Amino acid sequence: MNMLSLRNIGIGLGLLFLATLPLWMQHPYYINTSSQILYWAIIALGLNVLVGYAGLTSLGHAGLFAITGYTVALLVDAGFGHLTAAIAAIALTLAATAVFAVLALRATGIGFLMITLALGQIVWGIAYRWVDLTNGDNGVNLKVRPMPFGIDLSSPSAFYWATFIAFVVALVAMQLFVRSPFGATVRGTRDQPRRMNALGFNVWLIQFLAFLFSGFWCAIGGLLYIYYNQFVAPPVAGLQSSAEVLLMVISGGTGTLLGPIAGAAIVIIIKNVVSAWIERWNLVLGLIFVIIISFMPDGLVPGIRRLWRTMRGTDAAEAAAARASAKLASGQTDAKEKGGVQ
Amino acid sequence: MSSLHLTLAVNSVAMGGLLFLLSSGFSLIFGLMRIPNLMHGSFFMLGAYIGFSMIGKGMWFWAAAIGGGIAMALLGGLIERLLLRRLAGQTLPQVLLTLGFSFMIADICLMIWTGDPFQPPTPAHLRGAWIVGDMVFPIYRLVMVLVAVVIAALLWLLVDKTRIGAMIRAGVDDPEIARAVGIKVSQLFTLIFCLGAGLAGFAGVIGAPFLSIYPGLDAEMLPLALIIVILGGSGSLLGAFVGSFIIGFLFNFGQAMFPNLAYVILFLPMVLILVLRPQGLFGKLGS
Amino acid sequence: MTVKRRTILKGLGATAGATALGMPAIAQGAPFKIGLMTVKTGPLAQGGIQMEQGLLTFLKEKNNTLTGRKIELVVADTGGNPAGAKTKAQELIERDKVNVILGPLAAFELLAITDYVRQNKTPLIAVAAAEDVTQRSANPFIIRPTATSGQCSHVMGEYATKELKKTRAATISEDFAFGYEQMSAFQRVFEDNGGKVVKKLWPPLVTPDYTPFIAQIPKNADCVFNGFAGSNPVKFMRSYADLGLKDRIPLLAGWTAMDDALLRSLGDEAIGVLSAAFYSAASEFESNKRLVAGLAKDYNVLSGGYAAGMYIGGQCVEAALAIAGDKSNDGTAFAEALHKVSLKDSPRGAFSVDSKGNAIGSVFIRRCERQGKDLVNKVIKTYDNVSQFWTYKEEDFLKNPVYSRDYPPAKNLE
């Protein structure tokens, strides 16, 4: 109970910190970086539904938020209003998600990862080569950001707050999802697929819905992406992009609420901030991932939590139990993966 | 068949040969160890760079190719022994670790060899082309296919006719039983990983006069290796062989005939295979 | 004033009369910040690294001080894609508050940030060739002291028809803005002079093997014009020779496709290739000799168009600092000054900037030859005072849409 309230206080302080950020962070560049972290965090949270809770590792999510971005940019360019474009983009992304899900859910484990990778590459291939539709490598510009309720989002802080609101909504939705019976069944399909099946749950349908839920948040993140950058081009849909989001989720810690957020912060800060000082930032990024994985294979957030417990001298038994359960969880995914491609 | 189609067909075969060198090792690693080795493209590129530097020091082309292969085998072995080993069976961390290394290798290559593109000269005795009427057959590309076929035969002998091969097959079919009957899976894994990485490095050098070496080569080759293995079936050499040529053809004809959908054509068969026959054309996995 | 006298004297030559306006009385304490947007990763990295080397060579020569002001350089790697360019432009403008941006490298990168730099009133000196930035949607904050995509291609179209008497051309270039603009400009002059472009091929920027495209070149074409960039020309020319086309159909090239910096990566397959470029490493201009020597000494590389472009960019900054004087920190004033730049000596020779911000200068036709062990691009003809509009009237030129994949329409395809 004590831990829990401590955690709640922490989350409250964190949100307060984020909500007031533009007030004390005068520098527009850092406000913009924070906006980027938040919308990437939304996407990472979306992906985490699949990776963390459903135990399905997707390497094709970039294809989904790229579809959102392209749809918005192309429709606005063709003269449609922002609202129409946004709704159409979300709808199209969900449709694409459904196709992804139907195809990819034929497999689990590595098989799932490969199918999603291939699907993502198809989206990338269309963005890259179907030049008449997507303008190929030149990308598509979005002339102006939308003005929801007449609010001008062109300044860094205005855009930051809009992103922050979306972020909070996403966070609440995730929390509700995790606590809901649906969330429990999703975790059930991850840990005990056969038993779930035997109990009369439609495992496929549960995973399908989880995929849609995940796709929806990718669409929201994708909307913010295109509004922020006002530009979309093929690399957004590429493997590197999918890999980066997955790295956010894994490095932060799968199946936790804070993990993907921490992961998004790490990746974006290294990409944008560290790269200004250290030329070889890819090296740093790669090194950090190798280190995290070598020393905290279950990700940063669970790793630090464990470290924290050990340091506070909480009885060793608890730490050991946590470690054991972590091992068990990965062992189970492992077992499932072996059954995967069959 | 017009001369365009014939040129494309010849080139498809040449590319298929090179792709086999790249993907056979990937297939073994993937099939036996269940490791999605996302640094396979990096082995290809780094091997090519190292081979290029050896050629620059005056080394014979084929010796440099083997040198590039050995260097990658050593690197692969080190990474497997020291790091991947500890993550056995955990797909997610493996993905992250291999991706992390691919970032690092790419950056290190850029640091050492700069951004300049390199294209080692085609070995002198293999330059030129056979010209038949209107048709041109570049000799080096034909040799590449020959090398691929020889390697394929050697690999087949290794897997089908030797004790190690028997262990590999047992490992692919059922790792648990293999372990239970006393096969030293651990050493076998290291061996396979070295072999796969070495083949990728060798392929990089062999492919260099044809593809040239430049930053980003790794990211181009990795997805191709992935599709081939999915198409052919992981752990199956025959699958990698057939898959390589299928992709060689799809790549060449797709680019020329349907440029807009070239990549859809490249990846769609993989999706179809995964959906219709998830173990791949020649995959042994499956009940 | 701690500036060494020698530095000022050296600068005099480059800034010509501009320095005579007097030393601006700006405090030494506030450095002038240059943001360099370049590419250090990906297929375009080769040119991007040259950009940085060219600029550093210039700044070193000037002891990091231009017209008495200390220069602070911030380098950003865009990764060679438009999204990265956007992020890095934000970084340079919002965080580092640079006074002027040099770069970016690629046309599609420049197109992605042109509105953004205008909104933020940040002057920019481009190497990227995107035509419209100095044409239909001319951006008052941007000058381009190198060349538009079409500027050299127009010349090649003229040379191919008038001097080489070619009539049937195939074109091949990357499937992005720079490729479209180069190829279309060539096509326009080539066809206006009576030739026919019979095939246009567009391989993607990242193409592992060019054979599927080269195989489509008609056997009865009498020249092939290629506009590849980055590391792609090396791959392309090798395949072109491997497939036996080198001896059958002569190869013509844009400036990036035969950039001097690539010569060390090329072999026999490049000999005889003709190219049109705004710069030649072999030219005898004083500043070019310094640039070539500096790059050879510090980096052991040959100087190419990208290095020259940024060296020239540095010279433009110096000249504009002299013109704008105390107002240099004001983006608008500095951009106006940039538009007044006219240099007598630069690595590309003398040039001036037209009202839209693009350079008017020489374009060289070069033939690749072997001299001893090395390849060189030997200048065989020089076209002086070439403008971005070629010989067309500016008003008429601007009435047409910008060069693109489909404009001007290719009516003679077979």
A322 falls within a domain: yes
User: For residue C211, what is the domain's CATH number?
Assistant: 3.40.50.2300
| Residue B72 covered by a domain | yes
Contact C252, C274 (CB under 8 A): yes
Partners of C360 in the β-ladder: C352
Residue with the larger pLDDT of the pair B87 and C142: C142
- 3 state SS for B187-234: HHHHHHHHHHHHHHHHHHHHHHHHHCECCCHHHHHHHHHHHHHHHHCC
**Confidence band (pLDDT; 50, 70, 90) for B227?**
confident
* Residue C411 placed within a domain: no
Q: What percentage of chain C has pLDDT greater than the value 70?
A: 93
Q: Is the pLDDT of residue C29 over 70?
A: no
Q: Residue B131: its chain C contacts at CB < 8 A?
A: 244
Chain A: give the shortest CA distance to residue B38, in Å. Answer: 10
Check whether residue C165 and residue C104 sit in a common domain. Answer: no
- The residue that leads in pLDDT, C28 or A95, is A95
B260 at the A interface (CB within 8 A)?
yes
Residue A35 has pLDDT above 80, yes or no: yes
- Tell me which residue has tokens 């181009």: B220
Q: Are residues C196 and C130 in the same domain?
A: no
- A232, A236, A276: residue with CB nearest C91: A276
- Name the average pLDDT for chain A: 85
Dihedral angle computed from the Cα positions of residues C263, C265, C267 and C273, in that order, rounded to the nearest 10 degrees: -40
**C209 and C220 together in one domain:** yes
Which tens digits make up the pLDDT trace of C258-287?
999 999 888 889 999 999 999 999 999 999
Read off the pLDDT of each residue in A321-332 and give the average, rounded to a whole number.
48
B189 part of a folded domain: yes
Contact A141, C112 (CB under 8 A): yes
Is C53 in the same domain as C174? no
Measured CA to CA in angstroms, residue C25 lies from C304, C324, C325, C327, C328 at distances of 36, 11, 7, 10, 11
> Residue A2 falls within a domain, yes or no?
no
pLDDT of residue C5: 33
Is A128 in CB contact (< 8 Å) with chain C? yes
Per-chain mean pLDDT for chain C: 88
Contact C406, C184 (CB under 8 A): no
Farthest CA pair distance, chain B: 61
| Backbone φ and ψ of A257, nearest 5° | -80, -40
**Residues A215 and A97 sit within 8 Å (Cβ to Cβ):** yes
- The dihedral region occupied by C219, where left means phi > 0, alpha psi between -120 and 50, and beta the remainder, is alpha
* Structural domains counted in chain B: 1
Please check whether residues C208 and C308 belong to one and the same domain: no
**CA separation for the pair C44, C129 (Å, rounded):** 14
In the prediction, which pLDDT does A73 show? 95
CB contact under 8 A, C87 and A272: yes
On whether the CB atoms of residues B174 and B161 are closer than 8 A, the answer is: no
**Low-confidence winner among A10-24, A183-197, B94-108, B118-132 (lowest mean pLDDT):** B118-132
The answer, yes or no, to whether residue B286 has pLDDT greater than 80, is: no
Q: Tell me if A280 and B270 make a contact (CB, 8 A cut-off).
A: no
Residue B3 lies in a domain: no
Determine the pLDDT at residue C394: 93
Q: What is the mean pLDDT of residues C44-63?
A: 92
Evaluate whether residue C172 is within a structural domain.
yes
User: CA neighbours within 13 Å on the CB side: how many for A340?
Assistant: 26
pLDDT in tens, C297-350: 999 999 999 999 999 999 999 999 999 999 999 999 999 999 999 999 999 999
pLDDT digits (tens, 9 = 90+) for B186-221: 788 899 999 999 999 999 999 998 888 887 788 888
Task: Search chain B and give the residue with CA nearest A291.
Answer: B97
Contact C377, C258 (CB under 8 A): yes
Across A73-77, A209-213, B26-30, least confident range: B26-30
pLDDT per position as a tens digit, B10-68: 889 989 999 999 999 898 888 877 888 889 999 999 999 999 999 999 899 999 999 99
Q: Smallest Cβ distance to C94: which of A32, A128, A139?
A: A32
- Select the residue of A28, A136, A236 nearest C83 (Cβ to Cβ): A236
| C101 Cβ contact list (under 8 Å, min separation 6) | C34, C35, C36, C37, C89, C92, C93, C117, C122, C123, C124, C125
Report the domain count for chain A: 1
Question: Do residue C179 and residue C88 come from a single domain?
Answer: no
How far is CA C77 from each of CA A33, A274, C51, C122, C259, rounded to the nearest angstrom? 17, 12, 11, 18, 21
Which residues are C37's β-sheet partners? C76
At A314 the pLDDT is 58
Considering only residues C22 and B145, tell me which one the structure prediction assigns the higher pLDDT. B145
C-beta atoms of B96 and A283 within 8 A: no
Indicate whether C355 belongs to any domain.
Answer: yes
The answer to whether B131 contacts chain A (CB < 8 Å) is no
DSSP letter for A149, please.
Answer: G
pLDDT of A129 over the 70 cut: yes
Q: Residues of B numbered 83-112 whose beta carbons fall under 8 angstroms of chain C's beta carbons: which are they? A: 106-107, 110
CA dist A151 → A39, A155, A163, B176, C330 (Å): 19, 11, 13, 62, 30
The token duo for A211 is 């995929």
* Assigned domain for A165 exists: yes
Higher-confidence residue: A196 or A85?
A85
Residue A8 lies in a domain: no
Task: Residue C144: give the domain boundaries.
Answer: 5-148+283-360
Q: Confirm whether C414 is domain-assigned.
A: no
Measure the CA–CA gap between C239 and B138, rounded to whole angstroms.
Answer: 9
Residue A205 maps to a domain? yes
Residue B250 lies in a domain: no
Q: For residues B110 and B56, what is the distance between their CA atoms, to the nearest angstrom?
A: 18
Instruction: For residue A251, give its domain range.
Output: 27-340
d(CA B277, CA A341): 10
Nearest to A189 by CA among A336, A341, A340, A338: A336
Closest by CA position to A117, among listed C232, B89, B30:
B30
Strand partners, A301: none
pTM: 0.82
Identify the helix (H) or strand (E) that includes residue C379.
strand C374-386
Element (H, E) at C274: strand C274-277
Residue B129, domain extent:
26-217
Residue A314: which CATH number?
1.10.3470
d(CA B127, CA B121): 9
Please say if the pLDDT value at position C122 is more than 80.
yes
Residue A122 lies in a domain: yes
Contact C319, C66 (CB under 8 A): no
Q: Residue C128: name the closest of C112, C155, C116, C146 by CA.
A: C146
> Is B117 in Cβ contact with C235 (below 8 Å)?
yes
**DSSP code string of C63-101:** TTEETTEEEEEEEEE-TTSHHHHHHHHHIIIIIS--SEE
Quote the number of domains for chain C. Answer: 2
CA angle A227, A233, A238 (to 5 degrees): 110
Nearest CB to B138 within list C44, C207, C242: C242
The answer to whether the peptide bond before residue C233 is cis (omega within 30 degrees of 0) is: no
**Distance of residue A186 Cα from the nearest chain C Cα, in angstroms:** 36
Check residue A212 and give its pLDDT: 96
